[in-house]
Amino acid sequence: MRLLELILVVLAIGVFLWFVVSKTKKQKMIVIGLAALYIVAVLHVMVEGPRWQMVFAYLVPFLLTIGMLFRKQGRRQNRLLRWGGYGLAAVYGLVMVATPLLLPVFSFEKPTGKYPVGTETFYLKDENREDAPTIAGGRELMVQVWYPSENQQGNRAPYTKDVGPITKGLEQALSIPSWVLSHLRYVDTYATEGSQVSEKADTYPVIVFSHGMTGFRNQNTFQVEELASHGYIVVGIDHAFDAAATVYPDGRSVLLSENQLTGFEQLDAHMDIWVKDISFVLDELEKWNRSGTEGDFEGKLDLEKIGMFGHSYGGAAAAQMLARDSRVKVALNMDGTLYGSEPPANGFAKPYLQMNGEKSIDKAAFDAKLDQAVAQTGKSRASYEAFWDESQTRRETALHGGGYTMTIPHTSHMSFTDFHLFSPLLENKGEQIEEVHHLINDVSIAFFDEYLAGKATGLLQEQANKHPEVGLEAPFAP
């Protein structure tokens, strides 16, 4: 809970207990307690902002005011009714405390690198695209850049400015009512908006990030800010119509396409759209670097050192770019099934790291869900078995030639994003999401430092030694 939220809840419990339990109820003390409740509630709403998870705390001063006005002094109350009232009050108090704790205004940890982090968001339009969904001709994208900053002067950027459309998109994808996550508008990051690119280095390596299908460009803020603080310029893309929402500067927004893609045939073919999105963004970065047409990036992008990472379908896109675009030198795939063109038989011949969620590659867990999946979709058990076999074959093929793989214990597909920060209820049994994020960041930085920035050798092996539980290895190294 935020500070004023915590004070309000503690004060509400204290005043309520005084009102109900104390045998020396002094009118003056109750009035003072109620006045304090009202003052703290107003301050909280004005300073921190209201959210629906606090509604039970907001109601306490009103309920106590009504109780005080209509209480009849000296009247003996039925014992059963009195204890029943205590029970209801206890349940009410439990709900009042639990609701904001289970859906918190969470905080990101401060990035550990030597650079402050800046961020800017840009609108891009590929006029020549006719192969992708559009609402105004051409392919319109939104990209956000996180970068090493000269200082931390300026406003801290919100987690996302597009909470309304994004929560609507997540409702469409996950059946979570949009109002449930409306409090995300209060989550801040450590990046400052529009701050100057750091002059401590002449240029900085570039890493492109792609979200998962139904995700959004900010979904890995825990990771992109950490990378930027260590000297990388990170470019996150909203893949329009596949992102939860894409919001353009003129206020237009598009949510997820209603065409639900499934299976290798459809998702392999669809990958071309994402590959062309990413290639177009790289083309635009080349223009920025030459002329400084966008932001403060003229001459600051080391386009000889471009890497990519992504989650889920975005991780598959990273692997595709590694295979299909010579500008991409390294790729990190976080729990992504390898859709698109099948991996080369001998691997990518470039540095590649596959991070796996433990539950994602657990065949027993897959089998346990088969009956439910068959009943819901009408597809045959054999088709699901074939999908599993193909996904594992592609995963193994991609590791040929020296590709790295690792599996993080107690994790599932969404552990590689910010989503498990949204509520402790989302964490897997045995999972501590902050520690999982630390591990992901440690390995990601070591991977990019060694194979993209070329800072030192042996950095990834150091992480393998530090975290033996993840089994970080290159099983088919020459």
Q: Per the domain annotation, does 475 fall within a domain?
A: no
Q: Tell me, yes or no, whether 346 lies in a domain.
A: yes
Decide if 477 is inside a domain.
no
Work out the pLDDT band at 74, boundaries 50, 70, 90.
Answer: low
Is residue 368 scored above 60 in pLDDT?
yes
SS3 per-residue string spanning 233-252: EEEEEECCCCCCEEECCCCC
Query: Buried b vs exposed e over 259-283: b needs ≥16 C-beta within 10 Å?
Result: eeeeebeebbebbebbbbbbbbbbe
Reduce the DSSP state of residue 443 to 3 states and report it.
helix
Q: Do 359 and 446 fall within a single domain?
A: yes
Domain tally, the chain: 2
pLDDT at 407: 98
pLDDT, one tens digit per residue, over 168-182 is 999 988 888 999 999
* Domain termination residue (choose one: 77, 102, 127): 102
Same domain (yes/no): 234, 327:
yes
Residue 108 lies in a domain: no
Nearest to 190 by CA among 168, 145, 143, 222: 222
Q: Chain centroid to CA 38: how far?
A: 35
Say which amino acid occupies 177: P
- Residues 230, 304 share a domain: yes
pLDDT at residue 77 above 80?
no
In a shared domain, residues 14 and 129: no
| Cα 286 to Cα 273: distance, rounded to the nearest angstrom | 20
Q: What is the pLDDT of residues 207-250, one digit of tens each?
A: 999 999 999 999 999 999 999 999 999 999 999 999 999 999 99
Whichever domain contains 157, its CATH number is 3.40.50.1820
Paired tokens of 286: 């080349």
The whole domain housing 121 covers 117-470
> Which one of 73, 102, 131 terminates a domain?
102
Whole-structure pTM value: 0.93
What pLDDT, on the 0 to 100 scale, is given for residue 186? 97
Q: 228 is written with which tokens?
A: 């930027």
What does the pLDDT look like over 291-305, one tens digit per residue? Answer: 867 778 999 999 999
- Contact between 52 and 103 under an 8 Å Cβ cutoff? The reply is no
Q: Are residues 33 and 135 both part of a single domain?
A: no
Question: Residue range 99-109: average pLDDT?
Answer: 97
Contact 300, 197 (CB under 8 A): yes
Residue pLDDT, tens place only, 300-342: 999 999 999 999 999 999 999 999 999 999 999 999 999 999 9
Would residue 177 count as lying in a domain? yes
In sequence order, the β-bridge partners of residue 205 are 302
Q: Which class for 96: exposed (0-12), middle (13-18), buried (19 or more C-beta within 10 A)?
A: buried
